Structure formats: C-alpha cells, structure tokens
A and B are shown apart, each in its own frame.
Chain A
Amino acid sequence: MLARCVHCQKTFDTDRFGVQPCPHCGQHVHLADPSAPPPAAAPAPPPPQGAPPYAVYPPGAPGVPWAAAEADAPFALRATLGWVRAYIDTWKLACLQPSLFFRSVKVASPGNAVLFGVISMTVASWFQTLYGALMGAATRGMFQEMLKQVPQGERFQDTWVIQWMSGATAIGTVAQLIAAPFVSVVWIFIWAAIYQLFLLVLGAASRGFEATLTVVGYASGALLIGAAPVPGLANLVAGTWFIFAASIGFREAQRTTSAKAWAATSLPFLAVCLCCCAGAWMMIFGLSSLKVHGG
C-alpha cells in the first residue's frame, strides 16, 4: 500500500501498519490499522468511498496517513524501537503534533503514558536539583536580595524556601533526587483527577479517566523542557507548553470541543494555582525592582 510521511510529505510503499521509519527522511511515521476496533464511546466514522485502506485523513490535512482508529504510541513499542528512540519519537509527536497524536493514540492502557510522564518529569527534576546544587550560594544570595524588594518578602528569609531554592543542604539534594519519581507519579495522577473533575462537569469526558490520564501523561513530556539550564524561565515555558499540549490532547482524546478542553485546562489552573500566580507576580515585582535599583 501507499503511505505518505507526515514529516517530509513524500510517499512510500509499505506492507504493514504501525510505527515505521520513512525511507526518505528517516523519521518514524504512524500508520494506524483501519481494521482495529474503534473506540466504544465514539466510533470512528467509516472511511469514504475510494479512500485508501490505511488512512483516515484528519481535517485540513489531506494526505496525512494518521488514522482515527487507535494505535500504540511509539513509546509503547520501546521493546522493539529501543527506549531512547521510542521516547524521542513520542516526545516529538506529543509535544509538536499533539492534535494528530492524541486523536489516535490508544487510551485503554495509560500505564505507558504515565511512565513516559514520570521519566520526563524525573529527568527535569534531577537537572533542576543539579543546577540548584551547583549554583547554591549564588542562588541563595540572589533570592535573598530579591526578597528584600518584595512586600513582606523578609518573612521568607532564612526559611526552608530559601534553603530549598538554593539546594543548601546535601540531605535535601539527595532527598529531592530520590523523591522525584514518586512525586512525579502523584503529580500526574492528582492533576489527571483534577482535570477529569472539570471535564466531567463540562460534559467533556466521553472516553473516561483513562483518556485524561493518557493525555496528562504524554503531555507531561513537555515538562522535560524544565531541564534546560535557564532557572525559572525553563519551568515557565515547560508549564505553558504542557497546558497547550494537554488542552489539545483533551480535545482530541475526549472527542470534545476546543472551548470545553481549554476551559477544563484553564479553570483548575486559575482556581487551584491562584496562589502561584500571586507568587509569580511577587517574583516579577521583585525582579523589576532589582533591575530598577541595579540600573
């Protein structure tokens, strides 16, 4: 059969479905099997007359062989692809092509998604801990100076916050390294539950908690950006990217509208993390004060 690569748009012949490398560009493409059973809650529409058997084209992208039928993510095929290749391919799909990826990824077994998210968050956390340990003294001085500029910031002086941010204690550093995977698991499940609450209230959880957990797990791959050596900014970019990927993921995996998906992602962020917003505002206020005083 004839397939078209989503990366280079060139066509090639193949005799099987599933993840396979494009002979032109080497990128992995995902050819879903149209004979696979469709999801029970929202069965895929039958392919139109004359359409090739391997593809159900997503709207607005004619010729892209990404089927609406469910298929394994590359990370689920890590035994054959190898861990690194499977992780990188899945990361690219989940974070760079979330609409296509979450539309057809299997949601019945979210264990792979959770493992993918835990790996991403743990690696990011380890790097952040490493940076904290390396830049301990400098970070401590910077934060203490910044807190002097923040209203009531002196209340944070000499607290665990400063110690934690500066990686002041060796025990604290080791504890962070050990706790990272466990915290990641709890984080993924708790946030999936929070998102599921809002999706249920909005009537946008047609495919159940497994779909929500799958989206949160794979979208957590974006949090790997937090491993970049840019303290603060990396986490901000990672968090924003996660929200975008998760919103698109909810829309596709739960077969709902963009408005409901974005609402489900934004409302808990606004409601639960209002204090984080206030904290970010205080940090920004403190940084600008530093700039003014420094200039």
Chain B
Amino acid sequence: MAAGRRGGRPGIPEVFALIGVASFLAARFLPLLDIHSECPFRLATGLPCATCGMTHAFVALARGDLAGAWAASPLGAGLAGGAWLYALLDLARVALGLPWPSLPQRAWRALAVATLSAAALNWAWMLWRARFA
C-alpha cells in the first residue's frame, strides 16, 4: 500500500481515511441497530459467522462503550478503533504535509499475517463462546 500523495493530490491512504471517518459517522449517528437483520449463517447453523457482531462493535465503540464493543466482537472493536485512529493520523499527516511512511514489503506481509490471524482467533473465540459460554 505504497500510494500516498502524488503531486499534492489525495491518494489511496486518504480514501481509506475518509472511509474510516464515514464508518464512524454512520456508527455514531445512523440508527444501524434499528435495522433488524439476521445473519443467514447463524440462522442456518446456530453459530456466529466470522463477521458477526461487527456492527454492534462499531456502534458501541462510537458511543464510547468499550466493554460493549469488546463483548460484541473483539475484532470489530479493534477494527473500529484502528480505522478511526488511522483516519485521525492520516488526516493529521496530510494537514502537516508529511510523507506517507514507507514500509518494507516484509513489514506489510507481517501486518497482513497478524490481521488474518486475529480474524481467525476472533472467529474461534466467537464460536467457542456461542457453544460453551
């Protein structure tokens, strides 16, 4: 993800920052939890899918309820917090005119492995909790 700013124009990092901001605004101000939706995977199997609880986690964290967000989905809470923190940092970077930090390919790969491992652990935890807790 080595885009950044080219010739002073917003680049890929800024688009992701805007998506992060939009996700916060949606979670904070839109009545997302009033939309009654059921996860088809949960309906069919009785178990949560890999992304179950994400909406609740985003909404809870946007309202400052850290415990509620963690209970809904640890990955969702981490993703929401990470996305919003990234948005703040990137917008600050743009405001200060700083360059996009250049990470080596190995660092990006380690980050990707860590993210997917976290997602797998999160799902395992959700399944365990639904089955035994």
Contacts and interface: CB of A to CB of B under 8 A. Distances in A.
B16 A198 contact: no
B11 to A, nearest CB: 9
Interface string B30-72: 0000011111111111000111100000000000000000000
A201 interface: yes
B50 A209 contact: no
A278 B48 CA distance: 12
A213 B119 CA distance: 22
A274 B49 contact: yes
Interface in A198-214: 198, 200-201, 203, 205, 208-210, 213
Interface in B1-23: 1-3, 12, 15-16, 19, 22
B12 A210 contact: yes
Interface in A136-151: 151
Interface residues of A, number: 34
Given A156-B38, A197-B112, A275 B51 contact: yes
A213 B3 CA distance: 11
A159 B38 CA distance: 10
A213 B12 contact: yes
Contacts of A1: none
Contact of B37 (A160, A209, A274, A282): A160
Interface stretch (A18-26, A89-97, A185-193, A243-251): A185-193
A161 interface: yes
A271 interface: yes
Given A152-B43, A155-B43, A282-B43, A189 B1 contact: no
Contacts of A275: 39-42, 49, 51-52
B109 interface: yes
Given A197-B112, A201-B109, A209-B12, A274 B41 contact: yes
Contacts of A205: 105, 108
A135 B42 CA distance: 30
A281 B15 CA distance: 35
Nearest to A203: B109
A268 to B, nearest CB: 9
Interface string A158-202: 011100000000000000000000000110011001001110110
Contact of B44 (A196, A213, A282): A282
B116 interface: yes
25 contacts: A151-B43, A152-B43, A160-B35, A189-B16, A193-B16, A196-B1, A200-B108, A208-B1, A208-B2, A209-B12, A271-B50, A274-B49, A274-B50, A275-B39, A275-B40, A275-B41, A275-B49, A275-B52, A277-B41, A278-B41, A278-B44, A278-B45, A279-B41, A282-B43, A282-B44
Interface of A: 110, 151-152, 155-156, 159-161, 185-186, 189-190, 193, 196-198, 200-201, 203, 205, 208-210, 213, 271-272, 274-279, 281-282
